[in-house]
Structure 1
Amino acid sequence: MTGITGTDFNTTVLNITIINVVAAYFLDLLIGDPRWLTHPVVIIGKLISWLEAVFFRLCKSPAALRLAGLLLAVTVVAAAYSVTRLIVEACTGINPLLGQAVEIWLLSTTLAAKSLAGAGREIYRLLLDGNLQEARVKVGWIVGRDTAKLDQSGVTRATVETVAENIVDGVLSPLFYAFLGGAPLAMAYKAVNTLDSMVGYKNEKYLHLGWASARLDDLANFLPARWAGALLLSASALLGYNSGQAYHTIKTYAAGHPSPNSGIPESAVAGALGVRLGGLNSYHGQVSLRAYMGEELVPLEAKHIAETIKLMYAASALGVLSGAVLLTVFTKIYSL
């Protein structure tokens, strides 16, 4: 009886990874995040909140808080990776198919294509129905800025910017790490992203405790954001949008965004649709100017929300396809 060589084993693992990621992507498109099921990010968030309270109670000086911030980031990310890996391995030990099913489900929870599209479409429908007040409320659930006084254009811009930015955070970055390391690495990324969304602020409270989380999020999204830029250019061309303008807008405007990564998807979407994003935003009553992304070839309208969602879906599908192809090519080369 011939045993399985190390090369054959590694090739099999990579092939299973492709199957799992593709299955998880379609599972997310099919069911999204059921409300009756506790989401892993909720558990990660509770861990962050508990550790945050502990560190604020124990650490008083800026130096101590910065050290605590580093410990917070390392602890949460390591816990997310380790617990996910232990769960998958334990289930695999019971039955390999059970382990694979659990990994696919865990991978699907790191993706947010369906929930992101659902939130955007709800606001889009409210604007089409003329229900601006309810649209302001709903957009306030997905953005950090003040929304109570936004006009229709402001609600549209907030929604387009959020969907565009989350093409990276909510879809392509998890896919990137899923292809590299399966559910454990994808969940570790979600821990990074959750840390940044909870403590990665440059305000008085989190300036020191949140610095490591913010830097880690920038680092984790660096490569996926640039992959997203290429995918959005391809998606723009496939959907008949202005891919040339999208490329020009990325080159011209992306670097002006306060985030080293978010400017790429936002500027790509702005260029593809011929709209201008950015401008004045209000946060807790304080007005600030967000760098402009793109040139206003056409005024922002509610339809641009639907078009941004189309770009998100096309880019994510291309991400799954390109990731699967690249990993397949790698397995072929590795098996030679």
Structure 2
Amino acid sequence: MLQRSPTATGILLGALIDRLAGDPRRGHPVALFGGAAAALERRIHRDSRSRGVLYTACCVGAAAGLGVIADRLTRSRPLARAAVTAAATWAVLGGTTLEKEGAYLAGALEAGDLRAARERLPHLCGRDPSGLDAGELARATVESLAENTSDAVVAPLFWGAVLGVPGLLAYRAVNTLDAMVGHRSPRYARFGWAAARLDDLANLVPARLTAWLTVLLAGTAGGSARGAAAVLRRDGHRHPSPNAGRCEAAFAGALGVRLGGANRYGERVEHRPELGDGPRPSAGDIRRAVRLSRAVSLAAVVLAAGARAVRARRRGC
């Protein structure tokens, strides 16, 4: 496979490295990108959509450009292409860390340690955890696992399969900018508009792919594909996000739980529609959600590498 499709080989190797090593505690490439993006934002920020468009174009363009350079330099060197793709894949994937965070929160809730769970929740999402009880902490964790299975695994692999290294790096840049400036705060309501809309567009297909993989793999969490599909069709479009709702509805159906409700982000409270049927999630449901996320992630790796291998066979790598 190395000679025929070094990109497919690199995707598999990068996913394996993420599975074995996860993210480094210091010096992660995404964190370095975030630091550079934050420095640029401080210099050019204005309460203006046009400035936000410029900012987003500069940051995403730089990441994509780096990928294009790497792609061209390794075009006739299969081993180098596989190595560069593996490094990029590992850098943009967050599946192993996501699963570890979910497992930690499940353990803290099982032990009745709400303080530890509240301190850890910000590693997964931006909600204010200070007033959350065990049930709300479990709900926030399951919802974050569902959404981030797409954002941290399926989406980067999808764009890696479509565009190779440039797609991997560009997607992670888009998603990182959305997390940094895409939220609805007074500072970023206009400036972050471009990053938020570009993230919505980049996740349009991957989120739906995540949802249907979740349906197909519902049995890994003790659920049924039929039940998960029914909830996805009924509730997936009700969420204010055009993408997150599909993932959360599919997870709710696969787990047989009810998601949604009031979410507090600092001084702002957002009321989300209920997704799914059954009880609110518990710590045990978090562990099932982790298993489901892992199964979807592994399926996405196989699909991405397989798609790239087929493309290489037909048109060359």
- Is 2:15 the counterpart of 1:25? yes
The structure whose RCO (Cα within 8 Å, separation 6+) is larger is: 2
Distance in structure 2 (CA, Å) of the matches to 1:14 and 1:153? 50
1:1-336 paired onto structure 2 within 5 Å: 15-36=5-26, 38-56=27-45, 59=46, 65-87=48-70, 92=74, 97-237=79-219, 239-295=221-277, 297-334=278-315
| Paired residues of 1:106 and 1:183 also in contact (CA < 8 A) | yes
**4+ residue runs over 6 A deviation:** 11-14
Give SS of 1:204's match.
coil
Q: Which has the larger radius of gyration?
A: 1
| Paired residues of 2:10 and 2:84 also in contact (CA < 8 A) | no
Deviation at 1:184, TM superposition (A): 2.2
1:8 corresponds to: none
Structure 1: gaps (5+ residues):
1-10
Structure 2: gaps (5+ residues):
none
Percent identity over the alignment is 35
Q: Does 115-124 or 12-21 show the bigger shift? A: 12-21
Deviation at 1:16, TM superposition (A): 1.4
The count of aligned residue pairs is: 316
Deviations 1:119-145 (A, max 9, x none): 111111111112111111111332211
Change (3 A) 1:124 1:240: closer
Q: Does 314-323 or 218-227 show the bigger shift? A: 314-323
| Paired residues of 1:81 and 1:188 also in contact (CA < 8 A) | yes
| Paired residues of 1:14 and 1:327 also in contact (CA < 8 A) | no
Please give the TM-score of this superposition, normalised by the length of structure 2.
0.92
Deviation at 1:195, TM superposition (A): 0.7
| Paired residues of 1:112 and 1:170 also in contact (CA < 8 A) | yes
Give SS of 2:39's match.
helix
Supply the RMSD in Å over aligned alpha carbons: 2.3
| Paired residues of 2:160 and 2:304 also in contact (CA < 8 A) | no
Deviations 1:193-223 (A, max 9, x none): 0110011122221111111100000000001
Deviation at 1:331, TM superposition (A): 4.1
Counterpart AA for 1:318: A
Please give the TM-score of this superposition, normalised by the length of structure 1.
0.87
Deviation at 1:285, TM superposition (A): 3.8
Distance in structure 1 (CA, Å) of the matches to 2:193 and 2:268? 22
Change (3 A) 1:239 1:304: closer
| Paired residues of 2:22 and 2:97 also in contact (CA < 8 A) | yes
Counterpart AA for 2:284: K
